[in-house]
Amino acid sequence: MTLLGTAITETVVHHYGRSAFLSRLSDPFWFQALGAVMGMDWHSSGITTSVMGALKRGLAPRAAEIGIFICGGRGRHSRQTPDELLGIANQRGFDGDALVRTSRLTARIDNNAIADGFQIYLHNFIVTAEGEWAVVQQGLNDATGLARRYHWHSATVRDFVADPHSGIVGAHQGTIMNLVDAQAQPARSAMLTMTAEPERTLRDAAIVLAKPPKTVTASGQLLMPFHHDVRKDDVDLTRLGAVLAVANEQVLHDFAELLLVEKLGPRTLQSLALVAEVVHGAPSRFSDPARYSFAHGGKDGHPFPVPLKTYDESITFLRTSLDRAKVGDTHKLDGFKRLDRFVRAVEARLEPEADFGAALAHERQISRS
């Protein structure tokens, strides 16, 4: 996961820049797809810890070269974030105190200003060579055993107390107190005057408690199911069908190889097509993150055990493509981008629909070899 995650990061940065990488990391759907394509359980709460841990390990030795620095982590590692940020600030000439303040503020907002029953236990602060930052953190609800992930990106934060998040991921569990919602300005203002007018506060509280709460309907959320396996309903079968067609139908496979100028087996081509979409796909492409588990399976055996040989071949392709691009030979890496466009063209023109059961059975049969 460290090797593949690092190679994907470098590929995104090569084509689109560091700011674009932070933007994608701040998208809950893209993050989930990234974890799935890296072979993590597609809907486990551990996807956040594993993905960020892998990226931190992989990028740390080359952070100065790539220009992306990842701080913090889970538990005690999260408490090391201030020291790590100050160290980076000293090297890069940033305002370290401002970064530390931002890190603490995002953690406190998600832990205290959003009363949703989730306590933050993982905090990662990502900063680029330009000083742009993102935050990925996760909370746990002890009562339900469920996790919720919170995403921030400095490019979208206009006001820390007015809709500052780029995304909050989790099932709708009823009405909560969100003091950083843009509509909560009257509540924030009222709180500042509470201590000055205690009698009025008590009267207003009695009136509010006598009224039934309003129900807020959430939309556009990434809602992960309770079932652990990957099912037909979790996947866009037309999108998956296009990937399988390009990998297995001879004419399409030959053309894909022509784009890549690479002799690849169908299984590796299938994986690379899904990895290419994670690198180059538009935000709308990540509405079904379970589909990306068809790249390298899942460590839990769902939808199938990780095919290690194919996983290694994916890493090798990306690594050699990046190494060639550094000396001016971008043909192989550009071919990777053309592969993504080709798969989308097949999807749009042929509208192939995957036979989910057959695809799943086939993968389980061949994965160990």
The pLDDT tens digits of the residues spanning 32-65 come to 999 999 999 888 878 999 999 999 999 999 999 9
How far from chain centre, in Å, is Cα 278?
10
Phi, psi at residue 150, to the nearest 5°? Answer: -120, 130
Which alpha helices (H) appear in 38-78, and where do they start and end?
A: 46-59, 63-66
Q: Are 360 and 294 in contact (CB under 8 A)?
A: no
Of 120 and 45, more confident:
120
218 DSSP 8-state letter:
P
Please give the pLDDT value at position 128. 96
**pLDDT of res. 212:** 47
The mean pLDDT value for 82-108 works out to: 93
Q: Are 8 and 318 in contact (CB under 8 A)?
A: yes
- Per-residue pLDDT reduced to its tens digit, 236-289: 999 999 999 999 999 999 999 989 888 899 999 999 999 999 999 998 899 999
Which tens digit of pLDDT belongs to each residue from 16-37?
999 999 999 999 999 999 999 9
Residue in this structure with the two tokens 């180059």, named with its chain if needed? 280
The answer to whether residue 191 scores a pLDDT higher than 70 is no
Cβ-proximal residues to 159 (8 Å cutoff; 6+ apart), any chain: none
pLDDT, position 222? 72
CA-closest candidate to residue 43, choices 57, 58, 31: 31
- DSSP letter at 339 equals H
Q: What does pTM read for this prediction? A: 0.83
The answer to whether residues 367 and 303 touch, using CB atoms and an 8 Å cutoff, is: no
Q: Which of 72, 31, 39, 27 is nearest to 53 (CA)?
A: 72
**Among candidate residues 297, 322, 296, 325, the one with its CA nearest the CA of residue 311:** 296
Does residue 45 contact residue 35 with C-beta atoms inside 8 Å? Answer: no
Express as a percent the part of the chain with pLDDT over 70.
Answer: 85
pLDDT in tens, 192-244: 666 666 667 667 666 655 654 443 334 456 777 788 889 999 999 999 999 99
**pLDDT of 164 above 70:** yes
Q: What is the pLDDT of residue 244?
A: 96
Tell me the average pLDDT of the chain.
Answer: 88
DSSP type of residue 210: T
CA atoms within 13 Å, Cβ hemisphere of 73: 15
Q: What phi and psi, each to the nearest 5 degrees, are found at residue 21?
A: -65, -45
